[in-house]
Chains A and B, each alone.
Chain A
Amino acid sequence: MLKISKSKLNELFDAVSAKQTLYIPADREAGAAEYRKYEKGMELTSELNTVRSAKDFFFPQTENLADFKIEGKTIEVKDVREECEDFVVFGVRACDARSFTILDKVFLCEPVDSFYKNRRDHGTVVTMACTRPSETCFCQTFGIDPTVPEGDAACFDDGENIFFKANNEKGQKFIDSVASLLEEGDTSKLDEVQAKTKAIMEKLPLAKLSTENFGGDKLNEYFSSDKWAELSQACLGCGTCTFVCPTCQCYDIKDFNTGHGIKRFRCWDSCMYSDFTKMAHGNPRLTQLERFRQRFMHKLVYFPANNDGEFGCVGCGRCLSKCPISMNIVKVMKALEVK
């Protein structure tokens, strides 16, 4: 398998970033990593994952959809789309890589969202296998193997070297582009590392969490569960869980008057917000109970009902770490499960 010594990793970053924009997870401060545009000398984080997910690359928090110019009674619509430049995201974890498959199901089904597709077409995702899963990890619940991540190309860390494997043509192209920096390497130590990681995974506190009893077939049973009141009792109605979530993709469309014209933009929205479903004449989700229920029903019941059983969660654990009141999908699944 092709590899590069970890001490030379920055040479690889330099080579990639000389040709196209490269993003890597880097430390913003101790304990908080984020994807940053690579600049010479930037170090790859030692954190397991970034605070914000990698969905931003394809579904940014805000983006311009169209511009309008209004003169008297006439309106001019300006298509502001431009072909996106090629870019590489390096170091994506298996959970976030799977989230792209889930986002694809939403944005690439007819009618295709051209804004999302544009970025997807031009982005190369290079994943990094996990070696130190955290107590909040439960990707295996959703059939994800963090030691063999998806993505266009995958990387594997044996402590001293990073090994590369292409998962598709795009990934192969990436590896070819840095081939001069890579050499054949022995994977025996990597096999050990992977075996060790797998042993840890079995010991993770959430290793036994199962989706077996969730899915579309018990829709009304879960919807009318009497557990929602207690589960949502302390919910602040903030959007933290939805915004750090790699699969939450609800959005709002709004207009902004710049003084020189109107910009129509799309931005992340949250089903947890009180105005999400509010209309001039009423609101079908009046209290936090209904909003809270919507988020988890969507991930555990509605999404699988519409997508051949695929769940709308990848077990990245971000909501477990970040919810201000520590209420999250794991607690919901455990409380709710109908056997």
Chain B
Amino acid sequence: MNNDTLIPKIGVVTDIRQDTPDVKTFRVIAPEGGKVFEHMPGQCAMLSIPGVGEAMFSITSSPTNKEFMEFSIKKCGCLTEWLHAMEVGQQITIRGPYGNAFPVEGDLKGKDLLFIAGGIGLAPLRSVINYVRDNRANYGDVQVIYGSRSKDDLVDYKEIIEEWMADPNIRVDLTIDNPQEGWDGHVGFVPNYVKELAPSTSKTVLVCGPPIMIKFTLAGLKELGFTETQVYTTMELRMKCGVGKCGRCNIGNKYVCKDGPVFRFDQLGELPDEY
């Protein structure tokens, strides 16, 4: 019988990074080495510990990385607690890739890009940012606006400081919600910071974060003159199959696992408000 997408493959956790107090990044490879499968930025995978549960996570590493995949996972439920308790060398099950991707080889090509992320919302965008950095000639200006509750809650802070901020070809603006000792950067919520920075409306925006942050960021962008067709986001709903068959992650007639998770706001606007 042919392979069935519901039957998972094995992944080996080769590195675990404590990114924030409640976010860890896991590096996963196939038991025989190399990646378990290829993906495009924005796509997701179903990770599981058999007996504990299975859930969908965005792949945070860039497909340009040929050695491994990474997942940045926030501790918020039964499965994620288990994942956080893992040690290096632990095997998990993995299946995918699922969903569409940010159109890095389509509409985003040649555009000035603005990434706006809040908290763990950086995870899916990090894949795109690193993809863009590795294919830098294909894109225009690149700006990243990223905020979190505190300095400690900035996911992948080390990579941001050491690689992104050192990269003369991209601009990074960081903010945290409240003042903190040892932080001399910007303080304030992401949506307000975006309005302060007033980025050029020529940019194409990729936004991800908590629903409330996305909502206010979109409103702010509109005030600045952006249109919905310029703004992409990625969605998250409860999923079981990953291929549009188990019937639970739909918004109207679109399945987030299959037709998403990446949507442009004008497309999302045509769908019922149920997410």
| Contact surface of A with B, Cβ cutoff 8 Å | 65-66, 68, 70, 73-75, 77, 79, 81, 83, 106-107, 111-115, 118, 216, 219-220, 223-224, 249-253, 255, 257, 262, 264, 266, 269, 271, 276-281, 284-285, 290, 294, 297-298, 301-303, 305-306
Contacts and interface: CB of A to CB of B under 8 A. Distances in A.
B238 A279 contact: yes
A298 to B, nearest CB: 7
Interface stretch (B47-55, B142-150, B183-191, B200-208): B47-55
11 contacts: A68-B93, A106-B245, A111-B5, A114-B3, A114-B4, A224-B272, A271-B247, A271-B248, A278-B238, A280-B80, A298-B250
A269 B240 CA distance: 11
Nearest to B31: A74
B91 A74 contact: yes
B237 A118 contact: no
Nearest to A74: B91
Contact of B4 (A115, A250, A262, A302): A115
A253 B248 contact: no
B198 interface: no
A222 B53 CA distance: 36
Given A73-B90, A280-B78, 17 more contacts: A70-B50, A74-B91, A79-B7, A81-B1, A81-B7, A106-B245, A112-B2, A114-B4, A216-B253, A219-B252, A251-B247, A252-B246, A255-B52, A271-B247, A279-B77, A302-B252, A305-B252
A294 B248 CA distance: 9
A251 B239 CA distance: 11
B51 A251 contact: no
Interface string B233-271: 000111011010111111011000000000000000011
Given A255-B52, A278-B238, A77 B93 contact: yes
A118 B7 CA distance: 15
Contacts of A115: 4, 6
A113 B76 contact: no
Given A262-B50, A302-B252, A113 B4 contact: yes
B140 interface: no
A262 B48 CA distance: 12
A253 B6 contact: yes
Given A77-B9, A264-B50, A302-B253, A253 B93 contact: no
Interface string B24-57: 0000000000000000000000000011111000
A215 to B, nearest CB: 11
Contact of B50 (A75, A276, A284): A75
Contact of B10 (A65, A75, A112, A279): A75
Contact of B246 (A83, A251, A284, A297): A251
Interface in B68-98: 76-78, 80, 87, 89-93
A251 B252 contact: no
B51 A257 contact: yes
A281 B78 CA distance: 12
B54 A253 contact: yes
B237 A255 contact: no
B245 A255 contact: no
A83 B253 CA distance: 34
B7 A77 contact: yes
A306 B243 CA distance: 14
Contact of B89 (A73, A111, A114, A302): A73
Contacts of B1: 81, 83, 114, 118
A114 to B, nearest CB: 4
Contacts of A276: 238, 248
Contacts of A277: 237-238, 248-249
Nearest to A219: B252
B105 interface: no
In this complex, which of A115, A262, A280, A305 has the most chain B Cβ atoms within 10 angstroms of its Cβ? A280
A293 B67 CA distance: 46
B253 A306 contact: yes
The 9 closest A-B CB pairs, nearest first, are A250-B247, A280-B77, A68-B50, A302-B253, A262-B50, A223-B272, A305-B253, A114-B4, A262-B51
Given A111-B5, A115-B4, A255-B52, A281 B76 contact: yes
B8 interface: yes
A304 to B, nearest CB: 9
Contacts of B271: 219
Nearest to B272: A223
Contacts of B54: 253, 255
Interface string B150-184: 00000000000000000000000000000000000
Nearest to B75: A280
Contacts of B247: 249-251, 269, 271, 298
B196 interface: no
B107 interface: no
B275 interface: yes
